Structures are given as C-alpha cells and as structure tokens.
C-alpha cells in the first residue's frame, strides 16, 4: 500500500452537519452554501437520470425501498459538497443486487501512476469528477426502489407520510 494518509482540516468556523436538518439550521450564510451544494448534487442526478418519478403502488419493486441520506463535506479549498448516499447496509443480495462492482483502480495501478509521475517530474493535481458513480447503470432485471432524503421530498424523516407512495422512486443508476 502507499501508506500515505492526509488529514484535511475543516475551514475555521464551519462544522460539517450530520443531517439535512442540521445543515438547514446553520447560520443563513452557511445554510445557503449547504443548499447550493445540495442543488449541485440534484443537478447531477437530473443530468444522468439516476432515478425516476414517484411510483404508484402497482409499480413497486419487491421488498422495502432503500433509504438515502445526505452526506456533507467541506473540501480543503473550502468548497461545500453534499452527496446522496444509499443506506446500503439494508441491501439484500438477490433482492436489491446480484453482484457488486466498483469502478475503482487497483493499488498496483495507483502505484504505477505515482511512479511515472515522479519519474517524469510531473506535478500531481487533484481534481474532482462530479457524478462519477452516477454513470454506472443498474441491471434492469434487479429493480431497486429508493426513498430520497429530505430536500427532495416535502416530508421530514419519521413523519407519518415519510414512506407514502409519492416518495418511492425507481433507481436506474448506481448511488454510492
């Protein structure tokens, strides 16, 4: 392994929220930045059609829908990021997925890339690929229904309407 670990501190005065509710109860200037990060994520999902419109009960996939949550992060350059993440710990093999696949490079590929970069005396530049996971289509023979987090829906988690027919959607692409 590379054995390199970097701890990137959060910019002063900004606490990373653990939930949508915490992000929306931040001071107004910070709240706007978190909402802006959520809108960027929403646009990525619309661009790649990750999920469909709300489903009617007769179109539900077998089994319970998978819930999604917001994960917030502040990058080293001060950029606010919000991601929708599927609560995969509730997935059932054969019901929600058939096989697993993650489009990531192996450790050997990373080592070779670092070695070539060093040998050529080139600069290593970090960049962000927005929506990288959203390009992987899910197999049509394994339908997965999701419930999007607050910010996409009109109800808050835990409310009686929280799992109503209007909140359940079909997922078409991979969500981390």
Q: Is the pTM of this model over 0.75?
A: no
The secondary structure of the chain in percent helix, strand, coil, rounded to multiples of 5, reads: 30, 20, 50
Task: Give the pLDDT confidence of 103-159 residue by residue, as tens digits.
Answer: 667 788 888 988 998 999 988 776 666 555 556 777 777 788 888 888 775 444 444
Query: By C-alpha distance, which of 42, 149, 45, 173 is closest to 101?
Result: 173
Query: By C-alpha distance, which of 41, 45, 61 is closest to 170?
Result: 61
Looking at residue 64, the DSSP 8-state letter turns out to be P
97 φ, ψ (degrees, to nearest 5): -160, 160
């Amino acid at each position: 392994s590379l054995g390199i670990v970097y701890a990137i501190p959060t910019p002063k005065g900004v606490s990373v929220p653990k939930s949508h509710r915490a992000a929306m109860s931040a001071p107004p200037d910070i709240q706007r930045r978190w909402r802006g990060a959520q809108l960027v994520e929403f646009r990525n999902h619309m661009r790649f059609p990750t999920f469909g419109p709300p489903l009617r009960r007769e179109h539900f996939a077998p089994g319970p829908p998978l819930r999604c949550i917001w994960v917030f992060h502040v990058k080293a350059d001060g950029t606010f990021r919000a991601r929708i993440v599927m609560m995969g710990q509730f997935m059932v093999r054969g019901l929600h997925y058939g096989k697993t696949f993650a489009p990531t490079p192996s450790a050997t590929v990373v080592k070779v890339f670092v070695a070539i970069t060093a040998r050529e005396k080139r600069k290593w530049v970090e960049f962000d690929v927005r929506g990288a996971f959203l390009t992987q289509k899910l197999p049509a023979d394994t339908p997965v229904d999701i419930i999007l987090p607050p910010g996409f829906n009109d109800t808050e988690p835990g409310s009686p309407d929280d799992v109503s027919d209007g909140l359940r959607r079909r997922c078409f692409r991979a969500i981390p």
